Amino acid sequence: MISSILVYGLVNSVILALIAIGFSLTFGISGVANFAYGGFYLLSGYLTWILLKYLGLPFIVAVFITIGAVGLLGFLIYWVILLRVRGIVLSEVIATFALGVGMLEFFRWKGFVTYEFTLPYFKKGMLLIADVPVDYQRLFIIAIGLALVLFLYIFTHHTRIGWSFRGIAQNERTAISLGIESDWTAALSLAFGSAMAAVAAISILPLGIISINMGYDVLLIAVAVGIVGGLESVPGILVASLILGYAQIITSMYISAEWMMVVYLAAIVLVLTIKPSGLFGKFKELEERV
Amino acid sequence: MLEARDLMVFFENALAINDLSVEVHREEIVGVLGSNSAGKTTLMNTISGLIIDIKKKEYRRGGERITVLGELKFEGEDITNAKPSERVKKGIVLSRERHPIFPDSSVGENLKIATCIRRDLKITERFEFVYSIFPQLKEISKRKAGFCSGGEQQMLSIGMALMPRPRLLLMDEPLLGLSPALQQHLVRAIRQIRGEQVTILVAEQFARPLLPFIDRGYVIENGTLVLMGTGQELMENPEVKAAYFGV
């Protein structure tokens, strides 16, 4: 019992982190809360499925095309939609949320709702870890999660685009006075966040059937993890994922699986009342200092 | 080198800069002196182009309406509508007031981020240059910038502006909030920077440590030019003495 809680709690935590990290990256850099995130996530799933099923592309090619295309879409959406409402937080949220709902309901309308919509496992089979059976796909998810965090660290510390990300995130006007373009950086942050939604989708969706409602759940997860951890902090995201991931598994084992969603909502309410900036966030503290 | 003609900047209907013309020649140190709300920062933002960005964002938010009139020329080229990034590439870099650095990154990383748009520069050379002017920064290069003292942050802020190899360095209140000893130290650094073929335009309200070293100065009040002259002339001017030296 304990060992299966440990193993599946970890897998669940990594899944949450993978889902949340793109959302949080975009927000941390540009301040845009991309509420179309769930839409991007499902779009990635369906796009990969279409590339595999109808065009018969090799899996790895389909994966890279999907990541690239969804990233590009995020980039374009900044210039076409977000630019008009930039700076008005509520309008940003409404515009992206409407877009996300539009995407999800479009798929429902087009009939992407049957059991045939699944993505393939990277590799079939399973392993016993401390007597708990874990399939390879879940191990891949853990590996991809770690690789993504490592990639993000290297990218933000050793590339020029990464430097401009960190500059804009920390002090926008200073960054601009040093010649960094704030709109380009924000658009790129949206592209990166969307591409990460695609990475998450391609790794996680094979675990089940692709269903429209997942889009809404993904958004809720991204928001919940972000709020608990502090939206712009990568360590915060990781810790929050661990807390929520284990809390969920324990809830589902000792209470019932229907209560898993309640964990997120309770966590949001609890954190907002006790420490509104999240465990590792600093927006609130900054405001207090000013 | 820099020629600003008939600049006028409005925030809604309030006039922040009124018909101001400023000229800076190669390898000069030019001062812009004035008290709080004289329009120094607005002038610096206008020359660095930051105001274009602020204006754009205010417009998008439906916030304050900012109007910029007049003409800016850099080395004979019209840069009135050039974006801040284009101006940085041409060699105009601003060190903003109150040393706003990147607090969560280390001192070294702050400097690195500052070179981000100049792909043509050798970063190690720029580091050597900045460390030669502020050797202290080298010693604390691993420290988180947010934990540095005010003086260190001010040096870092100027160091960051030096990283993209400016030809015209704009400094907004570099002496603000520093002890007299540190002010002297910074004034020496400013002279050393000029010695490296960097032209400097510095806005400052506390003019006493700076005045002996500026070639020319503009005194502005409420956005309007009230006096101009060489550093020597300004030092001897009774009005300047009364207003800025507290004599």
Give the model's pLDDT for residue A281: 74
Contact present, B110 and B144 (Cβ < 8 Å): no
Is the pLDDT at A284 greater than 50, yes or no? no
The pairing of strands B77-78 and B66-74 is antiparallel
More confident residue, A264 or A45: A45
Asked if A177 lies within 8 A of B96 by C-beta distance, the reply is yes
Residue range A2-289, CATH number:
1.10.3470
Radius of gyration in angstroms for the set of CA atoms belonging to chain A, rounded to a whole number = 19
Cβ of residue A283 closer than 8 Å to a chain B Cβ: no
Give the model's pLDDT for residue B246: 59
Domain that holds residue B42: 24-48+84-245
For B124-177, write each residue's pLDDT tens digit. Answer: 999 999 999 999 999 999 999 999 999 999 999 999 999 999 999 999 999 988
Contact present, A277 and A285 (Cβ < 8 Å): yes
**Rounded distance, CA B204 to CA B219, Å?**
10
Is the pLDDT at B24 greater than 50, yes or no? yes
Listed as own residue / partner, the contacts of B118-121 with beta carbons closer than 8 Å and 24 or more positions apart are B118/A179, B118/B88, B118/B89, B118/B163, B118/B164, B118/B165, B119/A160, B121/B164, B121/B165
Asked if A164 lies within 8 A of B113 by C-beta distance, the reply is yes
Q: What is chain B's mean pLDDT, rounded?
A: 92
- A161: nearest CA partner in chain B: B116
ipTM metric:
0.94
Alpha carbon B208 to its chain's center: 18
- A171: nearest CA partner in chain B: B102
Q: What is chain A's mean pLDDT, rounded?
A: 91
Selected residue of A84, A160, A178, A283 to mutate for chain B interface (largest B Cβ count, 10 A): A178
CB atoms within 10 A of CB B62: 9
Give the model's pLDDT for residue A283: 56
Q: Environment class of residue A252 by beta-carbon count within 10 Å: exposed (0-12), middle (13-18) or buried (19+)? A: middle
Lowest mean pLDDT among A116-130, A206-220, B31-45: A116-130
B-chain residues near A173 (CB < 8 A): 50, 53-54, 96, 100
CA distance B84 to chain A (A): 6
Q: Is residue B75 part of a domain?
A: no
**Rounded distance, CA A133 to CA B166, Å?**
61
Cβ of residue A56 closer than 8 Å to a chain B Cβ: no
Q: Is residue B164 part of a domain?
A: yes
Domain count along chain B: 1
Which CATH number characterizes residue B183's domain? 3.40.50.300
Cα angle for residues B199, B200, B202 (degrees, 5° grid)? 170
**Alpha-helix runs per DSSP H in chain B:** 40-48, 50-61, 84-90, 107-114, 123-133, 135-139, 150-162, 180-195, 231-236, 238-240
Q: Which band of pLDDT confidence, cut at 50, 70 and 90, is reported for residue A36? A: very high
The pairing of strands B2-11 and A126-129 is unpaired
Q: Which band of pLDDT confidence, cut at 50, 70 and 90, is reported for residue B245? A: low
Asked if A164 lies within 8 A of B88 by C-beta distance, the reply is no
**Rounded distance, CA B171 to CA B32, Å?**
10
The pairing of strands B199-204 and B29-33 is parallel
**Rounded distance, CA A164 to CA A180, Å?**
6
- A172: nearest CA partner in chain B: B102
What's the farthest any 2 CA atoms get from each other in chain B?
A: 50
| Beta-carbon contacts below 8 Å between A and B | 94
Encoded amino acid at B40, one letter: K
Partner-chain residue, chosen from B54, B116, B160, that has the shortest CB–CB distance to A164? B116
Give the model's pLDDT for residue A288: 45
- A173: nearest CA partner in chain B: B50
Asked if B62 lies within 8 A of A174 by C-beta distance, the reply is no
- Mean pLDDT value across residues B118-127: 93
